[in-house]
């Protein structure tokens, strides 16, 4: 019965997905002015973004994802992160009491407050954390103005 309830809940959440996509298409950023994600995705990368004078540093917690299964793209002020977390290949006998670890595809789009230089972006992946250093474009960098 617990599995029936779980499947029913997942099915109901998935029915909302097309409406969420439509609303995001018609009113971009309607759910959040800075970060979008799909609630129905089984694995969501949790993200922190730091603002430095010359760059943004984005850290995404994506433990268990092989770095070869990650895709990172930058366009203007948007960062797209997607990937696939593979299911454990070993099947275990018995019934789950808890099952919170997720597998499958995920994607995140993060809108930064300023454009970044995608060609100079650096990415590292260590201990389940993807770190992107996203240099700001010259126009987006803070400049000290001399007062006469």
pTM (predicted TM-score): 0.64
Distance of CA 131 to the CA centre of its chain: 12
CATH of the domain at 59: 2.60.40.790
* Same domain membership, residue 66 and residue 135: yes
17 inside domain? yes
For residue 21, being part of any structural domain is answered with yes
In degrees and rounded to multiples of 5, residue 84 shows phi and psi of -135, 125
What CA–CA distances, in Å, run from 98 to 13, 73, 102, 141?
A: 20, 35, 12, 48
Supply φ then ψ for residue 2, to 5 degrees: -60, -40
CB 112 within 8 A of CB 49: yes
Is 64 domain-assigned? yes
Q: pLDDT at residue 54 above 80? A: yes
In a domain, 146, yes or no: no
Averaged pLDDT score across all residues of the chain: 78
- Percentage of the chain beyond pLDDT 70 is 66
21 lies in which domain range?
A: 1-31
Buried-exposed string 68-99: b where 16+ CB fall within 10 A, e elsewhere = eebebebeebebebbbbbeeeeeeeeeeeeee
Residue 58 domain-assigned?
A: yes
Tens digit of pLDDT for each residue in 75-118? Answer: 999 999 999 887 766 667 788 777 776 778 888 999 999 999 99
Of 79, 72, 143, nearest to 113 (Cα)?
Answer: 79
Q: Tell me: do 61 and 20 sit in the same domain.
A: no
Averaged pLDDT for residues 35-45: 53
Number of domains the chain is built from: 2
> How does pLDDT run across 124-147, given as a tens digit for each residue?
999 999 999 999 998 877 778 889
In a domain, 105, yes or no: yes
**In terms of domains, do 19 and 74 share one?**
no
In a domain, 131, yes or no: yes
The HSE-up count of residue 6 (CA atoms within 13 Å, CB side) is: 8
């Amino acid at each position: 019965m617990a599995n029936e309830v779980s499947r029913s809940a997942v099915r109901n959440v998935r029915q909302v997905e097309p409406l969420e996509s439509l609303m995001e298409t018609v009113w971009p950023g309607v759910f959040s002015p800075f970060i979008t994600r799909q609630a129905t995705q089984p694995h969501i990368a949790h993200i922190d973004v730091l603002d430095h004078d010359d760059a943004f540093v984005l850290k995404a917690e994506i433990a268990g994802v092989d770095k070869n299964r990650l895709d990172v793209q930058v366009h203007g002020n948007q960062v797209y992160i997607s990937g696939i977390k593979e299911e454990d290949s070993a099947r275990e006998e018995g019934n789950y009491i808890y099952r919170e670890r997720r597998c499958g595809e995920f994607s995140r789009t993060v809108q930064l407050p300023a454009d970044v230089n995608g060609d100079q972006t650096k990415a590292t992946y260590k201990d389940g954390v993807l770190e992107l250093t996203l240099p700001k474009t010259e126009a987006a960098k803070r400049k000290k103005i001399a007062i006469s």
